[in-house]
Amino acid sequence: MSFDRRLFLQSSSLLLAGGMSAIGGPRSVFGAPQFADKPSFEPRALMATWQRDPTTTMTLQWLGKHEEDGRTRNLWYRQSRHKTWREVAHTARRFPHTDLWQFRAELTGLTPDATYRIRVGLDSKQQSIRTMPAKATNEISFISGGDSGTGSAARRTNQVAAIQSPRFVILGGDLAYENGTSASTFLKFLDQYSSDLRDERGHLIPLIACIGNHETAGFYGKTRSEAPFFYAMFDGLYPDTGYATLDFGDYLSLVLTDSGHTSAIEGDQTDWLRSTLRAREDHPNVFVVNHVPMYPCVRNSDDKLHASMREHWSPLLERYNVDAALEHHDHAFKRTHRMLDGHINDRGVLYLGDGSWGKIRAPAGPDDRPFLAKTTESFHLSLHRLAGDDRYHLALSDKGKVMDITHTQKMARTRSK
């Protein structure tokens, strides 16, 4: 049984009201489940992500060999300080180019900044997730990176990320390097992330992703069907296009873009970016995430794609007071100077990158490209800490070495409306 895509995206929340499981049969909202004393089932590639409000929802996905796994193993959850378990409806469809089934459940109406216990079926072990705070009253940290793959360096970077106990991870494209064709490669990435990315208390660390060229069969100008694995996992956030926004209370906005892979840079996406950034101009923390960098540290910065993004997108980031662009694709560490109108300017935008979670290249340096403040040939991730008016951006190597620290605060508006 394969569901219509929109039904798959929406049915979890609709079925909560209707009281019927997407797999079929009656469903108990409040139950007294008899969990197995010795759990014997482990859901494959269990992963947390978001389709909507990260403070009150959580989407959980896992894979199974049989559709029957969904009929016999519903998702149970409870807030950690409560004893009552709830059973939530979930949906099922074939995972692309495999014999596996993909299951998805969206938990809604959750309490902000709370821990929830979850079980997939009565015979699995208890696991846990955390919702995001509604207000940034305490320091909040998250991690960004990109260009992972499944090699040993990626696994080391996974471990460094997990040790930081971030509230979530953003991967800005090129997750598995399956090129839209190799299901086994994408499954290996999912298995590794699900296994490695647990914080110090064992909570699942949610994954947010935007699309990169190695998610598609052909890199640029492709259809959604040519990025089957990425959209199988993340079409809840991207139901119609390759770009989306996630807002965290009133303290953080992530603007996730598609740098020409399944959505064109010019036209509709640029119009969307303009209206999206305008609406968030006064938000305290706004980060744009893109796979292809506007200010690359390896590839030729004058190439058509980079130049087009700088022409159409950089002025919008500058105009609407974006705090930083998180860039990837070039496989090295970079931090630019603040850039305004293509020139170094203390009132400009900071660009951080460039995607070396598990892939590496030798970057150019400031002597060759004056817009670069610092570059390093190293595997790395970026740890971002939001603390009141202060933001700290730490670049950590795959061995946990601090390579760079940058402190920023919200800039005053650079241009009039």
In a domain, 108, yes or no: yes
Give the chain's residues under pLDDT 50: 1-21, 23-30, 416-417
Residues 10 and 55 occupy one common structural domain: yes
Residue with tokens 């190695």: 214
Structural domain span for residue 187:
140-409
Domain identity same for 88 and 168? no
Looking at the fold, whether 120 and 154 belong to one and the same domain comes out as no
* Residue 166 belongs to a domain: yes
The percent helix, strand, coil of the chain (3-state, each to 5) is 20, 30, 50
CA terminus-to-terminus distance, the chain: 52
Residues 277 and 176 in one domain: yes
- pLDDT of amino acid 67: 81
Instruction: Give the pLDDT of residue 413.
Output: 62
Beta-strand ranges (E) seen in 321-371 are 324-326, 333-336, 339-340, 343-344, 350-353
CATH number at residue 126: 2.60.40.380
Single out the residue in 130, 159, 178 at which a domain terminates. Answer: 130
Which pLDDT belongs to residue 89? 85
Whether residues 13 and 109 share a domain: the answer is yes
Structural domains of the chain, count: 2
Q: What is the pLDDT of residues 352-373, one digit of tens each?
A: 999 999 999 999 999 999 999 9
Look at residue 414 and tell me if it is in a domain.
no
Residue 21 inside a domain? The answer is: yes
pLDDT, residue 31, reads 52
Distance CA 352, CA 372 (A): 10
Which two three-digit tokens encode residue 278?
A: 């305008």
3-state secondary structure of 283: coil
Instruction: Say what the pLDDT of residue 29 is.
Output: 43
Domain for residue 135, yes or no? Answer: no
Residue ending a domain, among 130, 153, 184, is: 130
Q: What angle do CA 385, 260, 211 make, to 5 degrees?
A: 45
Question: Left (φ > 0), alpha (ψ -120 to 50) or beta: where does 166 sit?
Answer: beta
Does 198 lie in the same domain as 63? no
> Does a structural domain hold residue 415?
no
Distance CA 116, CA 129 (A): 5
Digit-coded pLDDT (tens) for 308-343? 999 999 999 999 999 999 999 999 999 999 999 999
Residue 344's domain is classified under what CATH number?
3.60.21.10
